[in-house]
Amino acid sequence: MNKVPHIEVKDLVCAYGDYLVLRDISFEIKRAEILVIMGRSGCGKSTLLKHMIGLREPAEGKVYYDGKDFTSSSEAERESMLRKFGILYQGGALWSSMTLEENVAFPLEEYTDLKRSQIHDIVEMKLSQVGLKGFQKFYPSELSGGMRKRAGLARAMALDPEILFFDEPTSGLDPISSKRLDDLILNLRDLFNTTVVVVTHELDSIFSIADQAIMLSPKEKTIIGCGNPQELIRNSGDPTVTDFLSRMGGRQPA
């Protein structure tokens, strides 16, 4: 297998203006690995994600994909890298002036030469993967929060991306949908070798899907724990990490 990590984040500093959110962020993800980013609300998980996908420029540090420098690459190179990403935003971020079908079809129309009927079929398949078959003609405003999120997921998966970024995919979903989503993520990884970066708080998800987890802390403003969650809960020296993973001691290590 390829030795170069699929994603590498090096000495990243994230800030909004002069308000520092995160510093000294470094980690690597191998191809077909699932990384979970966790931490308390407001610690900068979404911020880190936005820096990784180039929506915000890092104050310092770099992000590499397949060993290629993403941060200082030209616009054209960046676009070709972005093509391989699928992104689910925290609020779904469906385009409100388009129906679900148009939303999911948009990336396909943009980047493939498929015929209309083919696109139609793919969209139907992707929507049924997230349990939304039959809602093609609905506008985002006519859906519930959880449904929007799932539709956003279908859109993120439309182009069979190499890397999927999920910002809290299971928040707002019922336990059954959450479980299905976890299975879907694992399947994508196993079948398509997709690398997945997931922001989540759900302990069940963390323990069932994560190969690697990193924990951010708002106080230290950096990573305070990194590794497989099963091992992290046992032998991370940091009580914050253990508390988080065991729900303040309420959950016993499996």
Partner 1 sequence: MSNYPCTSQLELEENGDILVIRLMGVWEMDRNAPSFQEFVKKGDIRADISELMLEARGLEEWDSSLLFFLNQAKVWADGRSMTFNCDCLPDGLGRMMLQTQRVVDSRVEVKDPEGHPGFAEEVGKHSIRIFRDGSVFANFVGEILLSFLRLLVGKARMRWVDCFRAMQDSGPMALPIVGLISFLVGVTLAFQAADLLGDFGSEFFTPAFVALAMVREMGPIMTGIVLAGRTGAAFASTIGSMKVAEEIDALRTLGVSPLDYLVLPRVIGLSIMTPLVVIYSNALGIIGGMLVSKVKLNMPVQTYVKETFLNIDATDILFGLIKSSVFGVIIAYAGCLRGMNCDSSSTGVGRATTSAVVTSLLFIIVANSIFAVIYSIYEI
Ligand X SMILES: Nc1ncnc2c1ncn2[C@@H]1O[C@H](COP(=O)(O)OP(=O)(O)OP(=O)(O)O)[C@@H](O)[C@H]1O
- Please give the residue ranges that form the binding site for partner 1 (CB under 8 A): 19, 50, 53-55, 79, 82-83, 85, 87, 89-96, 106-107, 110, 155, 218-219
Question: Rounded distance, CA 230 to CA 253, Å?
Answer: 7
Partner touching 44 among partner 1, Mg ion, ligand X, none, CB below 5 to 8 Å by kind: ligand X
The H helix count followed by the E strand count for the chain is 9, 10
Give the shortest CB-1-to-Mg ion separation in angstroms.
Answer: 32
Q: Where are the beta strands (DSSP E) in 158-204?
A: 163-167, 195-199
* DSSP run (H or E) holding 63: strand 60-65
DSSP assignment string, 234-246: HH-S-HHHHHHHT
What track of x and - describes contact with ligand X for positions 75 through 94 (by CB under 6 A)? ---------------x----
| Among the listed residues 7, 21, 119, 185, the single contact to ligand X using CB under 6 A | 21
Question: Rounded distance, CA 169 to CA 202, Å?
Answer: 10
Question: Rounded distance, CA 223 to CA 37, Å?
Answer: 10
Give the shortest CB-85-to-Mg ion separation in angstroms.
Answer: 18
Kindly indicate which of the ranges 34-42, 68-76, 78-86, 149-157 contains the residues binding ligand X, using the contact rule CB under 6 A.
34-42
Question: Rounded distance, CA 194 to CA 119, Å?
Answer: 22
Evaluate whether 254 touches 80 at the Cβ level (below 8 Å): no
| Among the listed residues 2, 3, 18, 19, the single contact to ligand X using CB under 6 A | 19
In the window 138-177, what residues touch Mg ion (CB under 5 A)?
none
What track of x and - describes contact with Mg ion for positions 43 through 62 (by CB under 5 A)? ---x----------------
47 interacts with ligand X by CB under 6 A:
yes
Residues in contact with Mg ion by the rule CB under 5 A: 46, 90
